[in-house]
Amino acid sequence: MTRVALVTGGTRGIGEAISIGLKEAGYKVAANYAGNDAAAATFKEKTGIAVYKFDVGNFDACKEAAEKIEADLGPVDVLVNNAGITRDATFHRMTPEQWNDVLRTNLDSVFNLTRPVYEGMRNRGFGRIINISSINGQKGQYGQTNYSAAKAGMIGFTKALAQEGAAKGVTVNCIAPGYIGTEMVRAGPAEVLNTKIIPQIPVGRLGEPVEVARCVTFLASDDAGFI
């Protein structure tokens, strides 16, 4: 029986690579997106992967979407919580809206989507929850107290739920990528990239989205049942 994977923020950047990687590994994939209809349509046409537009920061919308995906494709066996936004500002200038927008999309979403699919995973004796955090959730980053807090929260969520799910065959893992060569990262000033970011990376280059996707594909597999 083909397993079903849901990837949030799954039509662009790292999420796009994850969606494609899981499809190539034999999963039926549902890719969530928030608002860019044109990019989602292009992605769907290029990959043949089903796309679902809903707000990951809204619990009711997530519950409804999970039910729709189950009706269309089958129950979700693999959930990749990848959706994320930035609203960067130094803390003394940060607004409540910038804080709340990032926490809602990047952290609340992890609860909002995991909760509707988790009980089914437990009942079936198999589940894979993979959360895409960030190196900035581990070390912090100037101008990103909101983003760093959310990504650190994902790590704590992962560690706690992993202990609850393991005995039921549900693994919960977190990947915290460094700088990955997405459209968003490459859109920044080349001077900053070449003089401040890449010199900090031991291999001397940006990571590629497909390299994160390979980690996800492994963690979703039966081979990762002890992790």
User: Which residues are identified as catalytic?
Assistant: 147
Look at residues 132, 96, 113, 103 and name the one whose alpha carbon lies nearest to residue 15.
132
Kindly state the tokens that stand for 206: 């940006």
Beta-carbon contacts of 187 under 8 Å, excluding residues fewer than 6 positions away, are: none
Residue 211 near residue 205 (C-beta atoms within 8 A)? no
170-175 vs 28-33, strand pairing mode? unpaired
Contact 14, 213 (CB under 8 A): yes
Contact criterion met (CB below 8 Å) for 32 and 54: yes
Q: Which two tokens stand for residue 159?
A: 């560690």
Supply the Cα-derived Rg of the chain in whole angstroms: 17
Strand ranges across the sheet with 50-53 = 50-53, 28-33, 4-7, 76-81, 127-132, 170-175
In sequence order, which ranges of the chain are alpha helices (DSSP H)? Answer: 13-24, 37-47, 59-72, 96-103, 109-124, 136-139, 145-165, 183-186, 190-192, 209-220
Task: Return the DSSP state at 98.
Answer: H
